[in-house]
Amino acid sequence: MLRGMLQKRYHPQSDPPDWMRKAALWGGWETDAGIDVNPDSAMQVTAWLACVRIISETLASLPFKTYRRVSGGKDEAQDHYLYSILHDIANSELPAFHVRALLTSHMLTRGNGIAEIEFNKGGGINALWPLDPDGAYLWRDPDSKKLFYIYRLPVSVGGHEVKLPADRIFHIKWMSHNGLWSLSPTYLARQSLGLALAVQTHGAKYFSNGAEPGVVLSHPGELDDKSYERLQGDWEEMHQGLEKSHRVAILEEGMTIEKLTATNEDAQFIQTKSMTIADIGRIFSVSLDMLNESDKAATYASVEQFGIRFSTLTMRPYAVRWEQETHRSLLAPSERKTYYSEHVMDGLLRGDAASRFQVYTAGFQTGAYSPNDIRRMENQNAVPGGDQHFVPLNMVPVEHAGKFQPPPGSPAAV
């Protein structure tokens, strides 16, 4: 029945499926662990929160620059309207970092990060305004076949639905069945998240009871309901919570106490918690060392390789999503041959100073890097005459290499 409903309703004219969207809004999706999960409650799982924060903040912290294609390369197009919006200030209320991190976090938790594009009278773009993807869905006009975003405004401005043309929306997408509206990572991972939340709840209750596995109070006789409730209430009031865990227990009327022997280790509490962390890291391609969870001592070499893997396998796909959607949505067709936007990923791949300068030396001696190229990579200003490239003939400009005659008597002339 569910499969038939999915096939019938999951269509570009009504994306996402109503049952999926409303489940997120009404409290969450049921899980076998007995805990409902939605994108907000999922953020209570520290591993999930860490993965979302690491990816969204890392991406937002990378320089996102707009370039102009020129003969032989590219120039930063700081005079283009997109440069400031993507690199500095996204709108009059939010910096670019905040908007980029927000849209990326929405994509990582809801599957979709959307923002309204504010155009000026000349057709350029003034700003990007983030929208809540929980209040949006797609609709295709059956007559014109054009795509619209139906968005419910906040209650403070009316709370009614508005219809926004697709060309007014900047949309960062996660995995998708149809390319128009993405699947929800939270929905797909709901069982793992439900287990993680159940483990956290179990741990919290365990410590709320003084980190004791539980006790049994035995009475030689039979207690009436009133005495039973009084005894239970008095015991919990006196001993529940870590701050009360070492109080002396005074027993009445020949009562005895027996401590249960089950422990969290016996119930594999720690192993289960580690399993959920690894499960969540696997979803986001974030290694366990970045989540402070590893059973092996990382070496210097392995940490460096982890960083390269994080850059290429984790961050690069998200960077490409932003770059290509920016090219599609924020540049006019007439501009696309001249301008493009790109993240500067070099910072994620930077090694230690010794390794960097080994690369610079090799690049300089083969004519690949000029002194100013190296200074720019080290975030330093250019120097006069530093744009020349040299090759080993005891260092001469490349254009003079074939014509250079060493002075008579010099070592090169011998």
Question: DSSP of 271-305, one letter per residue?
Answer: HHHHHHHHHHHHHHT--GGGGT--SSPPPHHHHHH
Return the axis-axis angle of helices 96-110 and 316-329, rounded to nearest 10°: 110
- State how far the Cα of 217 lies from the Cα of 231, in Å rounded to an integer: 9
Higher per-residue confidence, 339 vs 256? 339
- State how far the Cα of 135 lies from the Cα of 21, in Å rounded to an integer: 9
Return the axis-axis angle of helices 46-61 and 96-110, rounded to nearest 10°: 140
Q: Write the DSSP string, 56-96.
A: HHHHHHS-EEEEEEETTEEEE-TTSHHHHHHHTBSSSSSBH
* Pair (9, 114) in one structural domain: yes
Percentage of the chain modeled with pLDDT above 70: 68
- State how far the Cα of 66 lies from the Cα of 274, in Å rounded to an integer: 42
CA nearest to 344, candidates 86, 77, 64: 64
pLDDT-derived band at 48 (thresholds 50, 70, 90) equals very high
* Pair (226, 209) in one structural domain: yes
Q: Is 141 helix (H, G, I), strand (E, B) or coil?
A: coil
* Pair (133, 17) in one structural domain: yes
Taking only Cα atoms into account, the Rg of the chain, rounded to an integer number of angstroms, comes to: 30
- State how far the Cα of 60 lies from the Cα of 55, in Å rounded to an integer: 9
**Cβ contact 116:94 at 8 Å:** no
203 found inside a domain: yes
Q: What is the mean pLDDT of residues 260-286?
A: 73
Q: What is the mean pLDDT of residues 357-364?
A: 83
pLDDT at 138: 93
* Pair (401, 373) in one structural domain: yes
156 found inside a domain: yes
397 found inside a domain: yes
Paired with 169 in beta bridges are 116
- State how far the Cα of 98 lies from the Cα of 384, in Å rounded to an integer: 37
Q: CB within 8 A of 110, min separation 6: which ones?
A: 24, 39, 133, 134, 184, 185, 186
* Pair (122, 209) in one structural domain: no
> Residue 309 has which token pair?
């893997």
pLDDT at 65: 94
- State how far the Cα of 174 lies from the Cα of 104, in Å rounded to an integer: 9
* Pair (40, 165) in one structural domain: yes
Higher per-residue confidence, 150 vs 255? 150
> Residue 340 has which token pair?
């493009």
Of 121-135, 211-225, 262-276, highest mean pLDDT: 121-135
Higher per-residue confidence, 117 vs 13? 117
**Cβ contact 315:285 at 8 Å:** no
CA distances to 73, 124, 331 from 336, rounded to whole Å, are 16, 13, 6
- The number of folded domains in the chain is 3
Domain edge (last residue) among 141, 157, 185:
185
For residue 61, the one-letter residue type is: S
**Average per-residue pLDDT for the chain:** 79
Count the Cβ atoms, other than its own, within 10 Å of residue 183. Answer: 18
**Cβ contact 191:31 at 8 Å:** yes
* Pair (153, 202) in one structural domain: no
Domain edge (last residue) among 162, 185, 208:
185
310 found inside a domain: no
- State how far the Cα of 194 lies from the Cα of 210, in Å rounded to an integer: 25
- State how far the Cα of 331 lies from the Cα of 339, in Å rounded to an integer: 8
* Pair (202, 251) in one structural domain: yes
141 found inside a domain: yes
pLDDT at 97: 97
Paired with 68 in beta bridges are 75, 339
**Cβ contact 319:343 at 8 Å:** yes
* Pair (181, 196) in one structural domain: no
Give the tens place of pLDDT for each residue, 67-85.
999 887 889 999 999 999 9
**Cβ contact 341:325 at 8 Å:** no
pLDDT at 19: 47
15 found inside a domain: yes
pLDDT at 6: 35
164: containing domain: 2-185
What φ, ψ does residue 412 adopt, rounded to 5°? Answer: -70, -20
* Pair (14, 116) in one structural domain: yes
pTM: 0.74
Count the Cβ atoms, other than its own, within 10 Å of residue 257. Answer: 11
Helical ranges in 223-268 per DSSP H: 225-239
237 found inside a domain: yes
CA distances to 105, 236, 309 from 292, rounded to whole Å, are 21, 35, 17
Domain edge (last residue) among 219, 247, 268:
268
Residue 337, pLDDT above cutoff 70: yes
- State how far the Cα of 57 lies from the Cα of 70, in Å rounded to an integer: 31
* Pair (177, 217) in one structural domain: no
* Residue whose structure tokens are 């016996």: 266
Percentages of the chain per state (helix, strand, coil), in multiples of 5: 45, 15, 35
> Residue 312 has which token pair?
């290429």
Count the Cβ atoms, other than its own, within 10 Å of residue 89. Answer: 16
Residue 409, pLDDT above cutoff 60: no
138 found inside a domain: yes
pLDDT at 174: 96
* Pair (109, 10) in one structural domain: yes
Higher per-residue confidence, 350 vs 19? 350
